[in-house]
Amino acid sequence: MVMLYIFTGILLSIIGAAPLGASNIAVITTTTRESFSKGMRIAQGVGLGEVVLAFFALCYTEIISNFFEMNS
């Protein structure tokens, strides 16, 4: 059962990452027009931003779930 959850999560992650966003297009454009190193710098910045957003989402989800548990 655990393997089913893992494979489902991997499949849904791939499907969710398929549509290109503005950051992905910027990385692709910079890499093709400029150089690989400039594209990697943008990709690292975007990756760091995504990690920060995921951390904020995690924190606020905890706050919201605590609110609903205390105020049913």
Q: Assess if residue 4 is contained within a domain.
A: no
Q: Assess if residue 69 is contained within a domain.
A: yes
Task: In whole angstroms, give the CA distance from residue 37 to residue 4.
Answer: 38
Q: Assess if residue 12 is contained within a domain.
A: no
Task: In whole angstroms, give the CA distance from residue 62 to residue 72.
Answer: 16
Number of domains in the chain: 1
Q: Assess if residue 6 is contained within a domain.
A: no
Per-residue confidence (pLDDT) for residue 2, from 0 to 100: 83
Per-residue confidence (pLDDT) for residue 65, from 0 to 100: 86
Per-residue confidence (pLDDT) for residue 17, from 0 to 100: 76
Q: Assess if residue 26 is contained within a domain.
A: yes
In sequence order, what DSSP letters do the residues of the chain get, joined into one string? -HHHHHHHHHHHHHHHH-S--HHHHHHHHHHHHT-HHHHHHHHHHHHHHHHHHHHHHHHHHHHHHHHHHH--
Per-residue confidence (pLDDT) for residue 19, from 0 to 100: 77
Question: What is the residue range of 57's domain?
Answer: 22-72
Structure confidence by residue, pLDDT tens digits, 10-67: 998 888 877 778 888 888 899 999 999 999 999 999 889 889 998 999 888 888 888 8
Q: Assess if residue 49 is contained within a domain.
A: yes
Q: Are 30 and 44 in contact (CB under 8 A)?
A: no
Q: Assess if residue 63 is contained within a domain.
A: yes
Q: Assess if residue 65 is contained within a domain.
A: yes
